[in-house]
Amino acid sequence: EAGVTQSPTHLIKTRGQQATLRCSPISGHTSVYWYQQALGLGLQFLLWYDEGEERNRGNFPPRFSGRQFPNYSSELNVNALELEDSALYLCASSAGTSGSGETQYFGPGTRLLVL
Amino acid sequence: AQSVTQLDSQVPVFEEAPVELRCNYSSSVSVYLFWYVQYPNQGLQLLLKYLSGSTLVESINGFEAEFNKSQTSFHLRKPSVHISDTAEYFCAVSDIKAAGNKLTFGGGTRVLVKP
């Protein structure tokens, strides 16, 4: 069974540009989570999508947004990039059936570098 | 709101020696507890989790963690480490009553196993 996949693996942008990151969950999983792993800031929850809807977001500005498609894949968009957006962005999926004790399965991440 | 503190940012240890990674949490609500491992250049993998029942939980690769409610701790131990255990370990919590599974992570502990 294929795991969570993310693309691209690396992304280089300049300040002010927009970045689009993609995630495909494990087959059958309906929930997708996005986390930011920035140097010195650790892993922080960004967004949660389930059944096509945004269910929760972390303490990030509105220029971080995304969506979930009918096939449950997801896209994270970061507008007006700032230098501090440079980070590893991790996507995780879960079955979405068992509440907050459910295991999340993580992808390998997209490393975004903003110059 | 929850917070997680991992007291050691780095733990060097010799092969076949025991290791303990400390995790303390603070929360106004009941939480589930998780340990995730991140091998170099990879995403996170679930090591073990505590949902309910026995406070001692074990993983398939020899790690164990004990939930101590009075001390709000969930320390991770392994009696004998291998070179392959070199990785970063993250403790995380989620709100039991929350919909979905937003994880709050600690800052991580980097374990370096020396021959």
- Note whether residue A98 is domain-resident: yes
Q: Which of A95, A1, A114, A106 is nearest to A51 (CA)?
A: A95
More confident of the two residues A75 and A1 = A75
Mutation for A interface: B4, B44, B52, B95, most A CBs within 10 A: B44
pLDDT in tens, B20-71: 999 999 998 889 999 999 998 888 999 999 998 889 999 988 999 999 999 9
Which CATH number belongs to the domain containing residue A75 in this structure?
2.60.40.10
Residue A114 domain-assigned (yes or no): no
Residue length of chain B: 115
Show residues of chain B in contact with A101, CB under 8 Å.
Answer: 32, 49, 51, 94, 96, 101
Tally of domains within chain A: 1
User: pLDDT tens digit string along B77-103?
Assistant: 999 999 999 999 999 999 888 777 789
User: Which candidate from A48, A90, A108 shows the least CB-CB separation from B102?
Assistant: A48
What are the structure tokens assigned to A103, written together? 């295991």
- Which domain, by its residues, includes A18? 5-109
Alpha-carbon torsion (A22, A26, A32, A37), positive or negative: negative
- CA distances (Å), A20 to each of A5, A10, A79, in order? 15, 11, 9
Residue A104 belongs to a domain: yes
**Arithmetic mean of pLDDT over chain B:** 93
For each of the domains in chain B, give its residue range(s) and CATH number, in order of start: 2-114 (2.60.40.10)
> Letter for the amino acid at A54?
E
Binary contact (B101, A4; C-beta < 8 A): no
